[in-house]
């Protein structure tokens, strides 16, 4: 079982360094601009996986609706970008110039009130975090204060994902409907569609991801992190030790959701659109699979798992698109049954002891003191 | 019974029914400051339910529970704990994935909100307190061990330690020696006699030998009601008690 010794945390730091090396140096030097942008897209999902390590891996709260928060963050960013792309000059052929094209197609003649503040970049950036965090707070407050947990909570999050998707698709005049918010062009006049911009945005994404990982590490290595494990293990014992368990669950769920939302915003910036296909049930479950494959108790594992599964998905669906969903389902079942702690667990349980043994035989590593 | 302010804990007319079945029925129970009370009774008598009611895990259907002369029915569980009531569960309830040290540290009654827990510092004082309690519960040599590797008896001690570190005024132990070896039982009796010097303790126990070794005052519960109350000698010779419980 998982045991938070200092040694394990040091190993984690090594993992962070390797990830930083991989995404900041190795990949930018070895793949072309198109592929690098693709990696950048994968990395936005890694934010969600990092959040899932916090709430699922450590606290035992399985959310099958993280796409909601990824999507809300992405939409907040996309709304700002869309408004900038819909300047009067760019949209003079519309019957109402100055509003997003899909609104014009849906006979709207005025910008809806909730779009207006998104003309401001500071507000939009604030909303990227605040809107998903508030949504997560309302949902988790309602559930955890009533002691709804486990499978029931997972089902509720699925329902929320389904409802939000239906809402976005149904209200296309306000949301862009099933196509989402597309044709995003500039950020304060800076064209985000060029290779150069994508290159820079990729690095911004990497830095934010590493920042989120360090934030998560700080939380998990604090006493609060140990409390989360305690809650996962014996919720009642924590409660009868004088803690208000609900508060801690709400906190970690909101944090996980806010981190997912940053990923969503980086998605809109790097890929140039946001649509309901990243909000619903299927993408939400996919994100859980990324985390499970990598190892839900490991921040490093979750990021690596996300990269590997997405890379597999891209290569797979280029050749056999119709088989991908089956492959993914199979992968999930295999991981749950054979490696419940994912690749990270495989590494610490199998590969690390092997390295140590080989290291000792060759004399590269000192022999440990004999066990008692 | 005299003025109610003499009691640390007073249950009056407490009743709880599960779908019409009265697990505890019009119960009156008074615990003094510094008292060690043992509650015995056959399976299903309602012993655990009484503890559940006191610590807020189950809500009373009727009656009043006063702690230090203040009504505590209706308070949230963690609020009751913070008033000074600690409770050990019937099956050892510890954090298996954490070390013994961490189990004890998490039980220290400080840094109990989100911000406090996030910026908690493991000070000298904290380490000392954990060491002090670990010695009391015979687990000093096991501090860095993962709690899941402890024996059943050691897990029981650890949970008692997690309560002691909170320094509650009232400690409630549900079958603390269940699953313990004879020598572990003796050590636990010694531990209880130490603990009781500073607080009131309610112990639920089946093991009559153990009860004899610690008991001051015994309450016999049967079908949700008090059947008899008194010192161990009186109880053992009470014909009603013999009939329903000791029976041999
Ligand atoms: N939440 C509940 N819902 C329904 N019935 C319950 C509930 N809790 C307890 N009971 C019933 O109340 C009665 C008393 O149970 P309780 O656990 O208090 O007994 P006990 O004296 O602790 O027994 P034991 O010695 O076996 O631990 C039992 O018949 C039990 O089935
Ligand atoms: Mg019981």
Domain ranges of chain B: 9-246
Ligand 1 atom nearest the C-alpha of B45 is: 21
CA distance B34 to B170: 9
> Per residue in A170-189, pLDDT tens?
999 999 999 999 999 999 99
Q: Is A83 left (phi over 0), alpha (psi -120 to 50) or beta?
A: alpha
Please indicate whether, in this complex, the C-beta atoms of A237 and B82 are within 8 angstroms of each other.
no
CA distance B99 to B96: 8
The pLDDT score that the predictor gives to residue A364 is: 61
Shortest alpha-carbon distance between residue A146 and chain B (Å): 12
- Per-residue pLDDT, averaged over A284-304, amounts to 94
The pLDDT score that the predictor gives to residue A136 is: 97
The pLDDT score that the predictor gives to residue B214 is: 80
Query: Which residues does chain A have within 8 Å of residue B51's beta carbon, measured at their own beta carbons?
Result: none
β pairing state of B7-18 and B21-32: antiparallel
Q: Where are the domains of chain A?
A: 32-284
Q: Report whether CATH 3.40.50.300 matches the domain B9-246.
A: yes
Q: How would you label B90-105 residue by residue, b for 16+ Cβ within 10 Å and e otherwise?
A: eebbbbbbbbbbbbbb
Ligand 1 pocket, CB under 6 A: B 18, 23, 41, 43-49, 90
β pairing state of A190-191 and B36-40: unpaired
Ligand 2 (ion): residues with CB under 5 Å are: B 48, 90
Shortest alpha-carbon distance between residue B170 and chain A (Å): 13
The pLDDT score that the predictor gives to residue A346 is: 87
Query: A16: which 2 tokens?
Result: 């962070």
C-beta of residue B219 within 8 angstroms of C-beta of residue B194? no
C-beta of residue A69 within 8 angstroms of C-beta of residue A284? no
The pLDDT score that the predictor gives to residue A300 is: 96
Q: What is the pLDDT along chain B (248 residues), one digit of tens a residue?
A: 444 457 899 999 999 998 889 999 999 999 999 889 999 988 888 999 999 999 999 999 999 999 999 999 989 999 999 999 999 998 889 999 999 999 999 999 999 999 999 999 999 999 999 999 999 999 999 999 999 999 999 999 999 999 999 999 999 999 988 888 889 988 998 898 888 888 999 999 877 778 888 867 899 999 889 988 888 888 888 888 888 765 54
Query: Which residues does chain B have within 8 Å of residue A3's beta carbon, measured at their own beta carbons?
Result: 97-99, 146
Full DSSP string of A31-79 = S-HHHHHHHHHHHHHHHHHHHHIIIIIIT----S-HHHHHHHHHHHHHH
Please indicate whether, in this complex, the C-beta atoms of A226 and B98 are within 8 angstroms of each other.
yes
CA distance B172 to B201: 6
The pLDDT score that the predictor gives to residue A3 is: 43
- Given a cut of 80, whether residue A103 has pLDDT beyond it is yes
C-beta of residue B11 within 8 angstroms of C-beta of residue B27? yes
Task: Provide the 3-class DSSP secondary structure of residue A360.
Answer: helix
Query: Which residues does chain B have within 8 Å of residue A1's beta carbon, measured at their own beta carbons?
Result: 96-97, 146, 148
- Per-residue pLDDT, averaged over A232-236, amounts to 94
> Per residue in A189-216, pLDDT tens?
999 999 999 999 999 999 999 999 999 9
> Per residue in B117-175, pLDDT tens?
999 999 999 999 999 999 999 999 999 999 999 999 999 999 999 999 999 999 999 99
- Given a cut of 80, whether residue A359 has pLDDT beyond it is no
Q: Among A233, A240, A245, select the one facing B55 at the smallest CB separation.
A: A240
Closest ligand by atom to B23 CA: 1
Please indicate whether, in this complex, the C-beta atoms of A241 and B106 are within 8 angstroms of each other.
yes
């Amino acid at each position: 079982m998982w045991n938070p010794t200092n040694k394990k945390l040091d190993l984690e730091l090594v993992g962070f360094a390797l990830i930083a090396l991989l995404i900041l140096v190795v990949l930018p030097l070895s793949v072309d601009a198109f592929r690098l942008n693709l990696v950048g897209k994968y990395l936005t999902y890694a934010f969600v996986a990092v959040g899932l390590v916090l709430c699922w891996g450590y606290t035992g709260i399985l959310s099958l609706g993280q796409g909601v928060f990824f999507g809300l963050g992405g939409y907040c960013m996309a709304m700002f970008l869309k408004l900038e792309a819909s300047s009067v000059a760019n949209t003079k052929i519309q019957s109402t110039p100055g509003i997003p094209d899909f609104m014009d197609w849906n006979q709207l003649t005025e910008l809806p009130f909730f779009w207006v503040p998104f003309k401001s970049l500071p507000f939009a950036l604030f909303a990227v975090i605040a809107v998903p965090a508030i949504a997560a707070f309302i949902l988790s407050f309602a559930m955890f204060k009533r002691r709804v947990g486990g499978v029931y909570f997972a089902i509720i999050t699925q329902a929320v994902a389904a409802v939000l998707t239906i809402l976005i698709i149904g209200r296309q005049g306000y949301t862009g409907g099933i196509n989402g918010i597309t044709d995003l062009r500039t950020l304060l006049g800076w064209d985000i569609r060029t290779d150069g911009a994508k290159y820079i945005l990729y690095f911004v994404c990497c830095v934010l991801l590493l920042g989120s990982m360090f934030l998560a590490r700080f939380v998990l290595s604090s006493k609060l992190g140990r409390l989360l494990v305690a809650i996962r293990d014996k919720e009642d014992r924590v409660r009868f030790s004088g803690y208000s368990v609900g508060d801690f669950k709400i906190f970690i769920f909101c944090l996980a959701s806010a981190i997912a939302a940053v990923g969503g915003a980086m998605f809109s910036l790097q890929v140039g659109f946001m649509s309901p296909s990243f909000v619903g049930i299927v993408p939400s479950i996919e994100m859980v699979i990324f985390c499970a494959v990598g190892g839900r108790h490991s921040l490093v594992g979750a990021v690596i798992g996300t990269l590997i599964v997405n890379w597999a998905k891209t290569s797979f669906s280029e050749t056999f698109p119709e088989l991908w969903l089956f492959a993914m389902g199979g992968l999930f079942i295999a991981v749950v049954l054979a490696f419940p702690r994912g690749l990270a667990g495989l590494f610490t349980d199998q590969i690390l002891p092997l390295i140590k043994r080989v290291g000792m035989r060759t004399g590269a590593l000192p022999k440990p003191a004999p066990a008692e | 019974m005299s003025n109610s302010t003499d009691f640390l804990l007073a249950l009056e007319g407490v009743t709880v029914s599960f779908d019409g079945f009265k697990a505890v029925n019009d119960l009156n129970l008074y615990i003094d400051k510094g008292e060690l009370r043992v509650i015995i009774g056959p399976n299903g008598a309602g012993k655990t339910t009484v503890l559940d009611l006191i610590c807020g895990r189950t809500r009373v259907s009727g009656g009043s529970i006063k702690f230090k002369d203040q009504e505590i029915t209706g308070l949230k569980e963690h609020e009751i704990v913070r008033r000074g009531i600690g409770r050990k569960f019937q099956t050892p309830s510890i954090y298996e994935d954490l070390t013994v040290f961490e189990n004890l540290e998490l039980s220290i009654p400080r840094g109990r909100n989100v911000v406090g827990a996030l910026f908690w510092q493991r000070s000298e004082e904290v380490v000392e307190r954990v060491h002090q309690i670990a010695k009391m519960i015979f687990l000093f040599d096991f501090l860095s061990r993962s709690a899941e590797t402890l024996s059943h008896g050691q897990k029981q001690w650890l949970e008692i330690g997690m309560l002691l570190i909170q320094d509650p005024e009232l400690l409630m132990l549900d079958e603390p020696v269940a699953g313990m070896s004879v020598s572990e039982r003796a050590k636990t009796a010694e531990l209880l006699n130490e603990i009781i010097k500073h607080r009131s303790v309610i112990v639920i126990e089946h093991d009559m030998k153990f009860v004899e070794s610690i008991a001051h005052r015994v309450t016999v519960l049967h079908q949700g009601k008090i059947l008899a109350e008194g010192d161990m000698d009186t109880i053992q010779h009470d014909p009603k008690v013999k009939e329903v419980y000791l029976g041999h």
